[in-house]
Structures are given as structure tokens and as C-alpha cells.
Amino acid sequence: MTAYILRRLILIIPTLIGILTINFIIIQAAPGGPVEQTLAHMEGMANSAIPGSSASGDMASGGESGYRAGRGLDDRLVKEIEALYGFDKPAWERYFHMLGNYLTFDFGKSFYSDKPVTDLIIEKLPVSLSLGLWTTLITYLISVPLGIRKAVKDGTPFDVWSSSVIIIGYAIPNFLFAILLIVLFAGGSYLDWFPLRGLTSPNFDELTFGGKIADYFWHISLPVLASVVGSFATLTMLTKNSFLDEINKQYVLTARAKGLSEDKVLYGHVFRNAMLLIIAGMPAALIGIFFTGSMLIEVIFSLDGLGLLGYEAVINRDYPVIFGTLYIFTLIGLIMKLISDLTYVAVDPRIDFESRES
């Protein structure tokens, strides 16, 4: 198993480089980079300046630049802006410089907030972790017992109507359900029971310990509810199908023939085998909910987390933040995938990835 783990860890390096390379090429080819956006902003300022003023004259006194937004601006100013963002160097040089820095986890500074990318991620991480942790916890606490119950009651009215409710919830996008919650409970058109912005109140530091806990859950309730609704279906049906597959096997019939109670058969024999896929898939589910599933929810509820950070980075073409978060999330995802494989082995020792590869 040690050799398998080492191979997987070594494989992370070319996988990371490949993902970064593909995204670097795509982003470099996309129009409207940070230089283009800055030039467009400055050109707008120049055009809105008072006619005949020195600022307008200085900005428009140059030749033609290679950017559509920079036409009419001084070539020296364009060169300074390119140097500011590192675009005075060819793309291949910037690419290898980025890879060299990323090997030491040096992700540079954000173009717009002038903060190190690592500090930005650490600053935004608690919000996304809060949202992802509660979403994952509630989803598993409800979906796993519900899936087991549906497997035991397969084909009964309970199974039919619960499946209908789950499918309807899965069909509604979480951002649409979030808007519905705002309209109904956050002062949209009806009730004004919950706050609409942030994870805590402005006077959070002045509250008592119990008040802080209540304030935190008051703010997180609607975002978590919106995130949870669309997460039930997959896990519930996966749990149900896993249990149905195990319930019909010979060892279950033998355990029942020996006179064991249904609870002992279900939770003493079936549970461990049926939960193999669910438990082993938990690390991947965690990383998915933490870092990819909360962007729209964070935007809608104005939660200053990683999802909102990534959204704003893409809109502003903040390349250090885009590539830094991509690198970190990809690395975490690959490590969590390895942990998922190791979890398979821990849950069922009969699985041997090393012998399969050989």
C-alpha cells in the first residue's frame, strides 16, 4: 500500500501542472485581461475629464497601443501598466515564473486588493467552511437514515411519496430556492425573520457567548437550507440502492434464518457493506460542498467566502487569485481523492488497489 500511496502522490505533480497549463492557455487567450480593464478605466477617466485639462492631454498624447482600450493613451503609460501586472514579459516566461513560485506556495498578491493570495484565502475560508460543514453534516444526518428507511420500505407509499419530494427538491436549483427563501423569510415580500447579509451582525463582538451562537445560527440558517435542499437526492438514493443490493444477498438471508432480529441484520451485517460507497465518497463530497457548491449561495446572501472571492476574481481578471485558488483547490481535491481510496481500504480490507495496478 505504501508504494501505491507514493505513486499517487508523485502523480499529483504532473496533474497539477497539466491543469495549470490548460487554464493558463485559456485565460491568456481570453480578451479583457487586467491590463485591458485598467486601460479602459483610465481611458474613461480621460474622456470624462474637463476638455483642455492637463490630465486629459497627458493621457491622450501618445500613439496607438496594442490594446483596443488603450488607443489614444500614452505608450509609456501603457508600458508602465503592463510592467505593473507583469505583462511586459512574454507568456512563456510568465508561465514558468508562476510554476516556480507555486512550488514554494508563493502565489503573489492580488491585483486589486494588494493582499497576498494566501492571506485572502485564509481570510475567506471560515465562511465557506461554516457553510460547507453544516451543509454536509445536515445532508448526511438526514439522507443516510432516510435512504435506509426507503430501502426497508421499498415499494411502499412512503417510498413513493418521499422519492417524489426528493426529486422535486433536486430539480430546483439551489440559487432559485435561495431567492425563494429571501422572498418569503428575509424581507423580500412577506416575512422579515432572517437577515440577508453576512454571517454575523455588526454588533457581534458586543454580544454574550450565547448571543453570539444565536446570532451565528440566525445568519447561517437560510444559506445552509438553500444549500442542503439540492444535496439530498444523490446521497439518499445512493444509500437506498446500496442497502437494497446488500439486503438481497445470501448472507442476509442466512442471518435472518438464524433468528437474528431485523435491526441486528440491518445494522450489524448490512450497514458496514452498504455504507462502503457512502463513507468512501465522503472526502470528495466534503471538498465539493466546501469549495465548489457555495459560490451562488455566497453571492446571493452576500457571504464573504471563497465562492464570492473566486467569482469576483474572474470578473476582475485577478489572475493571481484565479490561479492561486485553482492550484490550492486542485491540490486539496487530489489529496482528498487519495484519502477516498484509502477510506475504501479502511472500510473494506478486501479492496487492494496495489494488486489491481500490478
Q: Cα–Cα–Cα angle for 347, 350, 356, nearest 5°? A: 115
Q: Is the pLDDT of residue 232 over 70?
A: yes
- The per-residue pLDDT for range 283-292, each reduced to its tens digit, is 666 666 665 5
- The per-residue pLDDT for range 312-334, each reduced to its tens digit, is 888 888 888 888 888 888 888 88
- Domain containing 70: what range? 34-104
**In the block, which residue shows the cell 488497489?**
353
Whether residues 96 and 208 share a domain: the answer is no
Whether residues 86 and 159 share a domain: the answer is no
Residue that finishes a domain, picked among 54, 69, 104: 104
Q: Is the pLDDT of residue 62 over 60?
A: no
Q: How confident is the model at residue 61 (pLDDT cuts 50, 70, 90)?
A: very low
The predicted structure's pLDDT at residue 50: 46
Q: Tell me whether residue 22 is in a domain.
A: no
Residue that finishes a domain, picked among 104, 132, 161: 104
Residue that finishes a domain, picked among 74, 104, 134: 104
The predicted structure's pLDDT at residue 291: 58
- The per-residue pLDDT for range 90-125, each reduced to its tens digit, is 888 888 988 888 888 888 888 888 789 989 888 888
The predicted structure's pLDDT at residue 283: 67
The structural domain count of the chain equals: 2
Mean pLDDT of the residues in the chain: 79
210 and 189 Cβ atoms separated by less than 8 Å: no
Q: Tell me whether residue 109 is in a domain.
A: no
Provide the CATH number for the domain around residue 277. 1.10.3720.10
The predicted structure's pLDDT at residue 354: 61
125 and 291 Cβ atoms separated by less than 8 Å: no
Q: What is the pTM of this model?
A: 0.74
Whether residues 87 and 126 share a domain: the answer is no
Whether residues 133 and 47 share a domain: the answer is no
The predicted structure's pLDDT at residue 53: 44
Whether residues 251 and 322 share a domain: the answer is yes
Tell me the average pLDDT across 31-46: 69
